[in-house]
Structure 1
Amino acid sequence: MLSTTALYTDLSCYYDLMCADINYEAQSRQIHRLHQLFGNSGKKHLDLACGTGPHVRHFIDLGYQSSGLDINQPMLDIALTRCPEAHFSLGNMCQFSVDSKLDLITCFLYSIHYSNDLAELENCIKSVHVALNKGGIFCFNAVDKTLINNNSFVRHSTEYENSEFTFQSGWFYSGDGDKQALKLSIEKSTQEQTQCWQDEHAMVAVNFKQLTALLSPYFEVHLFEHDYDAIMPWNRRSGNALFACVKI
């Protein structure tokens, strides 16, 4: 088993394959609509945990001055190739600062959970608050620890350079405390040879009541269904949701 960092470093060139079933354009456009509804109409944008930059690409195409931050340099190298007009920074989303205030900060693909614990999650929220202009918004998706099904997972396969890749991921929560895991497996099959990677990404676990309480001193918090085709209030039963947080 490789560590989280080693796995993402060694396989950074396959990251886009791992996320091949994600509709980055739909996600970006939905957050753009939320920004139009709740934001300050500004166009300065930062994507936290930006990875290889696919969301940044779409926000640039939507007219934003977009930038990205990630903790993994190989990812950022790919992002810069994808978005040469953007600025990318190597850094931790729980301890970041910006040179000039922003209007929109995003954090996609549940990456807000990469905060190590509740204290680090609050540090991330504070950093975002400081970085935003008044009326700026912070948009991200999150999963409620109390509604995680440990037996549920997503799986997809794709072909690349004469190899077949199969990716599987799922959440795991023990039922106690502020730690959960994203379990990930990758198989690469080339003719008769198959390579396998297994990993667990340690993540912070919260429920939506806790998360709203952490956000509320800094933001006006709105929860929506995790649906990138329609804007609907969170139904209070779904295990994941979109958060749109307006700086107070």
Structure 2
Amino acid sequence: MSLALHVTAPSTALYTDLSGYYDLMCADIDYKAQSDHIRRLNRLFGNGASTHLDLACGTGPHIRHFIDYGFQSCGLDINQPMLDLAQVRCPEAEFTLQDMCSFRVNNPVDLITCFLYSIHYNDGICKLKQCLSSVYNALSEGGIFCFNAVEKTKIDNRAFVRHSTEFNDSQFTFSSGWNYSGAGERQSLKLSIEKSNEQESQVWQDEHPMVAVSFDELEQLLLPHFEVHIFEHDYDKITPLQPTSGNAIFVCVKR
């Protein structure tokens, strides 16, 4: 007999309860390629120094690569179980439990990153502005902020990313997709995790509220504080953003 559990959880409950599965959920992500790409952008636009902070760092896979590149890296997240796993992966790094929309650092850093579209976890324009202000205050002179973002007007609510993997004698299937109503400053990330084995089948479903913003709007929020460069969402090469693109990499140099 198959047992199906459909759970709608608060915005961080899925990650809290299933933090041990987070790396499985992201198993198809090329963290090394993403980290190396930002390292190249830092060489082009940064101030030449190598202190680094990763916002919404999760279990620390990007930080691991930056440490291996020679950076002095640290990370923050709002989820302590994630940070516990990150500390095991990166014992050299310092991790703090903080909200990226209102964080502080003891000493300015030269590079701040925010991967996996996590900039959108700022739920609304007001919190996004607070986040950008916190980033500005945390950066050293000439430091840069690199993140990726999705253009709200180009979101296809029908599109989902899906992959499967095996772990501990169970089959896991993960799917995620953006959802935007077409108006306002709120969008959401819909997530689903299916776990099945010989005894049962379970399904966890979650929906994370996020900020919806166009690239033009985002650039206007950044310009008072940063010199802004916007590139194609391509970790193999550095090319300017095309008008039809719905995903972008932002490089923001502190003025």
Q: Structures share a fold, TM > 0.5?
A: yes
Alignment match, 2:37: 30
Alignment match, 2:106: 99
Superposition deviation, residue 33 in structure 1: 0.2
Rounded to whole Å, the distance in 2 between the matches of 1:69 and 1:110 is 15
SS in 1 for 2:100: coil
Q: Which among 129, 140, 146 is matched to residue 136 of structure 2?
A: 129
Q: Percent identity?
A: 65
- The one-letter code of the counterpart of 1:55 is H
SS in 2 for 1:200: strand
Residue 19, structure 1, aligned to residue 19, structure 2:
no
SS in 2 for 1:4: coil
Deviations 1:134-168 (A, max 9, x none): 11000000001000011111000000010010000
Which consecutive aligned stretches of 4+ in structure 1 deviate over 3 angstroms post-superposition? none
Alignment match, 2:211: 204
Give the structure, 1 or 2, with the largest relative contact order (CA under 8 Å, sep 6 or more): 2
Rounded to whole Å, the distance in 1 between the matches of 2:105 and 2:98 is 11
Rounded to whole Å, the distance in 2 between the matches of 1:177 and 1:237 is 21
Superposition deviation, residue 4 in structure 1: 2.2
Alignment match, 2:162: 155
Superposition deviation, residue 19 in structure 1: 0.2
TM-score (normalised: structure 1): 0.99
Superposition deviation, residue 3 in structure 1: 1.9
Alignment of 1:137-176 (within 5 A): 137-176=144-183
How many residues align? The count is: 248
SS in 2 for 1:245: strand
Alignment match, 1:180: 187
Alignment match, 1:224: 231
- The one-letter code of the counterpart of 2:26 is C
Alignment match, 1:4: 11
SS in 1 for 2:102: coil
Deviations 1:30-52 (A, max 9, x none): 00000000000110000000000
Rounded to whole Å, the distance in 2 between the matches of 1:239 and 1:183 is 18
SS in 2 for 1:47: strand
Residue 81, structure 1, aligned to residue 88, structure 2:
yes
SS in 2 for 1:67: strand
Superposition deviation, residue 127 in structure 1: 0.5
Rounded to whole Å, the distance in 2 between the matches of 1:180 and 1:192 is 36
Rounded to whole Å, the distance in 2 between the matches of 1:163 and 1:180 is 32
Superposition deviation, residue 116 in structure 1: 1.3
SS in 2 for 1:198: strand
- The one-letter code of the counterpart of 1:195 is Q
Superposition deviation, residue 6 in structure 1: 1.6
Rounded to whole Å, the distance in 2 between the matches of 1:236 and 1:247 is 25
Rounded to whole Å, the distance in 2 between the matches of 1:5 and 1:119 is 20
Specify every segment of 5 or more residues in structure 2 that has no aligned partner in the other structure, as ranges: 1-7
Superposition deviation, residue 192 in structure 1: 4.0
Alignment match, 2:201: 194
- The one-letter code of the counterpart of 1:88 is F
Deviations 1:56-105 (A, max 9, x none): 00000011000000000000000000000000000000101111110000
Rounded to whole Å, the distance in 1 between the matches of 2:176 and 2:203 is 14
Residue 111, structure 1, aligned to residue 113, structure 2:
no
Rounded to whole Å, the distance in 2 between the matches of 1:126 and 1:204 is 16
